[in-house]
Amino acid sequence: MKALSAEDRGWWRHAIGYEIYLRSFLDTNGDGFGDLAGITAKLDYLKWVGVDVIWITPHYPTPDHDHGYDVADYLAVDPRVGDLDAIEHLIEKAHALGLRVFTDVVPNHTSNEHAWFKASVANPTGPYRDYYLWKDAKPDGSPPNNWVQHFGGPAWTLDPGGSGQYYCHLFLPEQPDLNWTNEAVRAEFDAILRFWCDRGVDGFRIDVAAGLMKHPGFADNPRIREVRLEDGPARIFNSFEHRYDLAQVSTVDVYRRWNKVVEPYDAVLLGELGVWDPVQFAHFVEDGTALHMSFALEPGLTPWKVDRLLDCVLGMAEHAGSAVAWEITNHDQHRAPSRLGDGDPIRGRRRALALTTLLVGLDGMFFVYQGEELGLDDGRVTQGGLQDPISVRNPGDHNDGRDGARTPIPWTPGARNGFTSATTPWIDAFDRTDVETVAVQEADPASHLHHYRALLRLRRSWPGLAQDPLLALKRERVDATHQVVTVLRANTLVVANLGLDEAEVAVPGGAWTVAFQSWPLHAPTGQPAAETVPAETTVVLVRTAD
């Protein structure tokens, strides 16, 4: 795309994004693995759905210990998904359709198969040793501190080269953390960002964006609660306050540098911070000179706990505004209908649509996770077919595994739902029902897909829904069953009733009509504003002529 004018910069603040989990999107060569050509083939569909941006999960060569987030070469393409020509062709077609393309960049760690790490192990006195975080053992030979990794177990592994030192990894041992105090590492990533921007990439989703810098003292993290033998990896990780291994203030300096690197390309930096405190979150995005925006991950993590959800949403909206990227599902979490419905996927869909409609009416980007537009709940993986290292390496029923959110999109009825012609895809999941497929829903005007598309179309047809200045953002809590949020702008009013009972609507003076109601699907629009909003439902009202 051509360089943007000054008035067009900031386009992303109110855009709709779509996360593509590459290996599960569409396989075009029959090897059971989604590929770049599959994305290119479906760009017209994505444009029809109503998105502005596609974010593609890692396309780099990888030994695949963590589904592509263990990168072996940042300047190449995994042969299973295509080559440089394939990604350049994808970007060219996306731009021709008016779509922008974000790719993942994984700067916290590399694969242990990356040339940098191999050299770091092979020569402890060589220049690549300092590309990673090597520390001496304690006098008793144990790891340098009590840090734990996200996937279970300590965050330190003994040097396979026999030096007696440990290297740090906040994820798998196969994902050694980089040393971001090293100027050489920073220069490497300057070149990596430029390489992909030169090929037309419009932005980067930054994996583990809060993890790059560690506290120089490498002290023990305070323990919040006791760790039990039966605990799963998520509970173990959350048993510590991550005071010294995450969200260091100095990490912002990395992104200030990156911001200058991508500025000539008008490219966007989108962080995956994992920071829950709104004030701390705002520090990374507040003046636009570091990250341009970051995901607020809480709505995509929490079950249907309305107080907690609204604390997050309103706190982030207040402190970070249009620098927030909203989502309710991604590839790392259970799909929203499974997570929010208390075991009832229909109720989960209703709640998911209510929350989505509220977020679409707030400042900032909103991201759709592939299949969300179809109302998909978690897919079912065949017995013995688990792939996620969280599940595979941590036996037991901890419910931490992410495979259910990563099963392929159902494109058509029939074997493998049109995802692949292979007998066994990369993840062996049960076929979805016909009514869950794109083909059937696309042909049915009463489907979830058409309802979801109508919501995205509303945001485009009424740009003031997320762009006009806020006149009021108000939360009303009468009791545990009554939770209402109103978002008032000059010509739009969003009323989200997330409680268990219907709620009265206080509509400002003038004539207002219903432009969208999250539930039931395809509720009538164009009607005068009602006095009440049903439970677990969000309505969008627009001001009309008196």
Same-domain status, 403 and 427: yes
Can you read off the two tokens belonging to residue 178? 């980089």
Same-domain status, 431 and 474: no
Same-domain status, 407 and 367: yes
Tell me the sheet residues that pair with 493: 488, 541
Mean pLDDT for 368-394 is: 89
In contact, 288 and 120? CB cutoff 8 Å? no
Q: Is residue 63 part of a domain?
A: yes
Residue numbers annotated as active site:
207, 272
Q: What is the mean pLDDT of the chain?
A: 94
Q: Is residue 178 part of a domain?
A: no
For residue 240, is pLDDT > 50? Answer: yes
- The residues, ordered by sequence, that sit 6+ positions from 287 with a Cβ below 8 Å of its Cβ are none
> For residue 491, what are the domain limits?
468-544
* Residue at a domain's end among 438, 457, 476: 457
Q: What's the CATH code of the domain at 158?
A: 3.90.400.10
Same-domain status, 205 and 283: yes
Q: Tell me what percent of the residues of the chain surpass a pLDDT of 90.
A: 87
Confidence of residue 398 (pLDDT cuts 50, 70, 90): low
Same-domain status, 140 and 192: no
pLDDT in tens, 287-296: 889 999 999 9
Q: Is residue 138 part of a domain?
A: yes
Same-domain status, 430 and 298: yes
Measure the N-to-C terminal CA separation of the chain; round to a whole number of Å.
42
Same-domain status, 367 and 405: yes
Confidence of residue 5 (pLDDT cuts 50, 70, 90): low
Give the Cα separation of 443 and 516 in Å (integer): 21
* CA nearest to 364, candidates 452, 481, 434, 268: 268
* CA nearest to 326, candidates 338, 309, 350: 309
Can you read off the two tokens belonging to residue 310? 């609204």
Q: Is residue 176 part of a domain?
A: no
Q: Is residue 67 part of a domain?
A: yes
Q: What's the CATH code of the domain at 499?
A: 2.60.40.1180
For residue 367, is pLDDT > 90? Answer: yes
* Residue at a domain's end among 432, 457, 482: 457
Give the Cα separation of 291 and 202 in Å (integer): 14
In contact, 392 and 67? CB cutoff 8 Å? no
Same-domain status, 390 and 425: yes
Same-domain status, 450 and 486: no
Q: Is residue 266 part of a domain?
A: yes
Q: Is residue 431 part of a domain?
A: yes
Tell me if residue 516 falls in helix, strand or coil: strand
Can you read off the two tokens belonging to residue 467? 């762009």
Give the Cα separation of 444 and 453 in Å (integer): 13
**Where in 174-221 does DSSP place strands (E)?**
203-206
Q: Is residue 350 part of a domain?
A: yes
Same-domain status, 227 and 289: yes
Same-domain status, 221 and 83: yes
Same-domain status, 243 and 324: yes
pLDDT in tens, 189-223: 999 999 999 999 999 999 999 999 999 999 999 99
Confidence of residue 394 (pLDDT cuts 50, 70, 90): confident
pLDDT in tens, 446-495: 999 999 999 999 999 999 999 999 999 999 876 767 899 999 999 999 99
8 Cα distance to chain centroid: 25
Number of folded domains in the chain?
A: 3
Q: What's the CATH code of the domain at 286?
A: 3.20.20.80
* Residue at a domain's end among 404, 432, 457: 457
